[in-house]
Amino acid sequence: MFEKILIANRGEIACRVAATARRLGIQTVAVYSDADTNAKHVLACDEAVHIGGSAPQDSYLRWERILQAAQDTGAQAVHPGYGFLSENEDFAQACAAAGLVFIGPSPSAIQAMGLKAQSKQLMEKAGVPLVPGYHGDDQDPALLQREADRIGYPVLIKASAGGGGKGMRAVERAADFAEALASCKREASHSFGSDAVLIEKYVQRPRHIEIQVFGDTHGHCVYLFERDCSVQRRHQKVLEEAPAPGMSETLRSQMGAAAVAAAQAVNYVGAGTVEFIVEQVGMYGLDGAQAGLADGACQGETPPREGGERLPAGGVGARFYFMEMNTRVQVEHPVTEAITGVDLVEWQLRVASGEPLPLRQDQLRIQGHAIEARICAENPDNQFLPATGTLQVYRKPASVSFAVADGAVRVDDGVREGDTISPYYDSMVAKLIVHADTRAQALARLDTALAQTHIVGLATNVQFLRHVVHSDSFVNAQLDTALIPREAAVLFHQEPVGWVRAVAAVVAHTLRAERGLAGSDPFSQRDGWQAYGERTRSFSLSLGDATQQALLRYLHDGSLHLKVSQLDASASGLLHFNDQGDDGLWVSFDGQRTHSTLHWLDDVAHVFTPHGATRITLKDPLAHAGQEQTLGGRLTAPMPGKVVSFVVKVGDVVTAGQTLAVMEAMKMEHTIAAPKDGTVRELLYAAGDQVAEGAELLKLD
């Protein structure tokens, strides 16, 4: 076993690898960029080496600096984690040339499986059914357009060297192909250093199921069952679970055998994932019937489309098709660890040091059900736009960090309260993993854990995840990559749950704070006492665009009566609250008793209850309302990032919704569209410029 390893990554995966290494008595070396000087993963390791600027191309992708750091610190091996250099065969080869063990597959295996087009050609020769498409080397745009026309629309453009949904576009019409191709190539080149793409028929109702495989240097290879990763947004996974609901033992063994065969075809060593497109039998079930490619086959990790009919009952049987192989540990590996009791990172370290696999295939068992939710800094109600900012409040549920099967709730993260989510890296804040005996129990456990996750300071998808967990499709395991658009009515732009109770909590917290400030000074008390009659007090609050009025009456007997009104809705009743210390209160109002936690930022109360999270602004009646600004044709950057290009010039006449500029942030491209018809008067930046959030990009008349 190694004595010291260098972890060539950051964030939660670097912390995850360090935790297992520490348990095994292996010393660790962290690398960090300017932005990560005080990051959690730096402190999680025994040593740390600065390797460059904040942007990945200036640090985490500069493998010569990483190798130098490994040699300078005496590390014997390099663990690449996922992303960055984890699937870079040149880096793996450079590690070997420098006398370092690359904790992963051989460079030849990475090369064979790392390029989507080449891997599909390899699988095609092996007789594995593929979705119709073009996987050739000729990347002439005119040829690609002709191939797309031949395949028939809709088609999917995918970065050949890519993953994680980057460099991927669904194209509905031939007229849109050229623009989508150019965008894919830019994004692919920036993220993977190659702009090569492949074209595939975009088929509907896909189910994305992947098989975890593991090989060693002694010729052994096993599969550790499957994960269902069908719930996706922006072509990236949102929720993953293991085992796949509805999976028959027959289909499981067929897919497992196919995954092992794919791995053995390239003499695979280490942890890998073979991803399949699975066509569903009946309505949403799976069975073991394997057949050839047919219309309606499923296509994993694809942009979901609106609509679509469910497969009729008594369908043609489950079919699976090879999509790609990820030659690294996956983001969603904890659900496999939970159901098998296997520490996959430990297996990586043991196999890389020359040991055989710890278990044979017949010794592996599935235990219960596990689900992982990716908590990301983003705004689901604004097309999942990534968010940046400071984690002013970051409270996690009671959990076991980086445990394999020791706890029902596990949190993997690489941040702490007070850390900043920057535009340089992925928007994921943490992974929340739950494990239970059954899927229903796991769902309930996940919802509770999400309710106990309090993040203040930037937008997150926590409430969106709770909406997904409660949706009919997810509860009933009706899983496919169209789940989110199918359930859009209950997932997006939802009224805050229990807003009346949230308003009551804000009033109660305000009263508690006033009592604490007043202390024993009777002249500073605002408890409503007066010599004659009853006293009333009004509160003006806003929840989003809506305004609430709360009228508090101090009754003769010392009790409090509260009436909350919003437009034509109102509620009233006695208000009681019990201090729980810190930010917690038990609040009883209108016959309901709810535990609430409040975190204040200026005059905004972030209210967390078991029913959901709400932001309420307490208005100062003495403050003068400022005049509203009319933005007119102003266009501002929605987040910090880089201007990729302007697609208009000064003097151009544009229409509402027309693309004006393209920005890049958090490794994804974002389109800036015209809010109204007009004429471009001035471009305020040039392609390549870094801009701050809210910066005006151009002016329209």
Which positions are catalytic? Answer: 328
- Amino acid, single-letter form, for residue 404: V
Q: Which pair of tokens denotes residue 608?
A: 């967390």
Please name the residue that has the structure tokens 């043991």.
Answer: 350
Q: Which residues of 469-501 are buried (b: 16+ CB within 10 A; e: fewer)?
A: bebebbeebbbbbbbbbbbeeebeeeebbbbbb
CA distance 504 to 575: 8
Neighbours of 373 (CB within 10 A): 26
Q: Are the C-beta atoms of residues 191 and 212 closer than 8 Å to each other? A: no
CA distance 354 to 356: 7
Q: What is the 3-state secondary structure (H, E, C) of 323-385?
A: EEEECCCCCCHHHHHHHHCCCHHHHHHHHHCCCCCCCCHHHCCCCCEEEEEEEECEEHHHCCE
CA atoms within 13 A on the CB side of 236: 23
CA distance 318 to 206: 11
Counted residue by residue, the chain has a size of: 701
Pick from 78, 79, 86: nearest CA to 61: 86
Q: Which residues of 664-700 are buried (b: 16+ CB within 10 A; e: fewer)?
A: bbbbbbbebebeeebebeebebeeeeebeeebebbbb
Chain-centroid distance, C-alpha 289:
33
DSSP class of 460: -
Which is it for strands 133-134 and 47-52: parallel, antiparallel or unpaired? unpaired
DSSP class of 629: P
